[in-house]
């Protein structure tokens, strides 16, 4: 690979770095909500609905972050 192509690739990665950070945050928040959704009904038996809502929100945030991640990395090529 020539130096010019590597510099162009590094510039593309640098531009998409903040997008990748946002995607990672969405995925991380999704995992936290999934774990909370599992733990809430275990700790408080009358909070099953809140646990299910946390799991659904966590799945949505994780899927959204994953889709954004795939889109941003696919746009690098």
What mean pLDDT value characterizes the chain? Answer: 84
Helices (H), the chain: 3-15, 17-43, 48-74
CB 26 within 8 A of CB 72: no
- Report pLDDT for 12: 73
Digitized pLDDT (tens) for each residue of the chain, 77 residues in all:
455 677 777 777 777 777 778 888 999 999 999 999 999 989 998 899 999 999 999 999 999 998 988 887 777 66
Domain locations in the chain as residue ranges:
3-74
Please state the pTM of the whole predicted model: 0.73
Q: 5-11 long-range CB contacts below 8 Å, 24 or more apart?
A: 9/76
- How far is residue 77's CA from residue 63's CA, in Å, rounded to a whole number? 22
Q: What is the model's pLDDT at position 37?
A: 93
């Amino acid at each position: 690979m020539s130096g010019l192509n590597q510099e162009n690739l590094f510039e593309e990665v640098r531009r998409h770095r903040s997008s990748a950070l946002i995607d990672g945050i969405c995925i991380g928040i999704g995992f936290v909500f999934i774990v909370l959704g599992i733990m809430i009904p275990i700790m408080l038996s009358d909070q099953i609905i809140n646990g299910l809502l946390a799991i659904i929100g966590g799945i949505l945030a994780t899927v959204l972050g994953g889709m954004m991640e795939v889109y941003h990395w696919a746009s690098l090529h």
